[in-house]
Structure 1
Amino acid sequence: MTDFKRPVSVLVVIHTPDLQVLLLERAAHAGYWQSVTGSQEAGETLPATAAREVAEETGITAVAGDLQDWQVTHSYEIFAEWRHRYAPGVRVNTEHVFSLQVPTAQPVTIACGEHLNSCWLPWREAAAKCFSWSNRDAILMLPERIGARRR
C-alpha cells in the first residue's frame, strides 16, 4: 500500500441546541458507537476534513464556518488492527475536536460499510454509549463548550 492514512484525524460532535447528540455504530465493530471521525487528507485543512467527514458519514452538509474548532487535541495509540493503514512505524494518532450544532435531531444517511446505525441521544446517555474515551470526554464537555445549562 502506498497511500497511507495520515495519523491526524478529526472528531466532530454533532448536536442540537438542547444537547441531543448524534452517534454512529461502527460496521466493523457492532456495538461500538461514536461521533463522526476521520483522517485528514493531504493538503486539507482540519475544518475542511471535519466538513468532509460529516458529509460522508451523515449526509449533513456543513461548511468549515459552521464547525466550532475546540482547539482541543488528543493523542492515542492506533489500534493494532488498523495500523496497516498507516506508514510503517506509525503508532500514534492526533485527534482534533470539533462540534457542529444542527437545528433539530434529523434523519441521517450513514456511510454504508462504515456504519450500521445512527441514533440521537441526550448528551449524558451519548457519552456513556461511546467506546472511545476521547469521544466520551468531548461529549461531556459539550454543555460548557456551547454555554448550555447542564440538564
Structure 2
Amino acid sequence: MAEALIALGGNIGDVRDTFRNALAMLGDSAEVRLIARSRSYLTPPWRVEDQPPFVNCCAALETTLSPHALLARVQEVERAFGRDRANERRWGPRTLDIDLIAYDDVAMNDPGLTLPHPRLFERAFVLVPLADIAADRMIAGVRVKDALARIDATGIERLPPR
C-alpha cells in the first residue's frame, strides 16, 4: 500500500457536500481507502481574482493503484462532479478540482504527472489544510509545517464543522 496526499478545491455549488461525496466515490473500491481528511478552509482565489472564494481541503489515502492510475481515478471523480478541463478557464471557477500532491516518496516528472506537485510549496490554500493531517510529513526534503511557515496564508479561514 502506498500513501497518497490529495488536495481538493472548488467554488461552485455546495463545495463541502461535493468534497464529502467525491471522497466517498474515490474510496468506493478496494484500491483506495481514505485515512485522513483535513478541515475545510475558505480561501481567496489564486491567480484569477474575479471569482468567488474557494473552499479547500486535503486528504490522505492508502492505495494499491500506481500514481498514474490514481490520477486517472481522481480525474474520473472530477468529471462525475461536472469538471470539464477542456472547456474551463485556467484557475477559474469550478465545481471540483482534485490534485495529486504526493505519492509516498515518489519523485517523477512524466507527461501529465509531476510528483510531488510542482506548485505545492507556493500554495497556502494547499499547505494550510495539508498541515492539519500531515504537518510533520517530509515532501521533497521539506517538512509541511516548515513550508507553511515560509508563505503568506493571509485570508484563509477555517470553516466550522457541519
Query: TM-score range, shorter-chain basis?
Result: 0.3 to 0.5
TM score, norm. by length of structure 2: 0.39
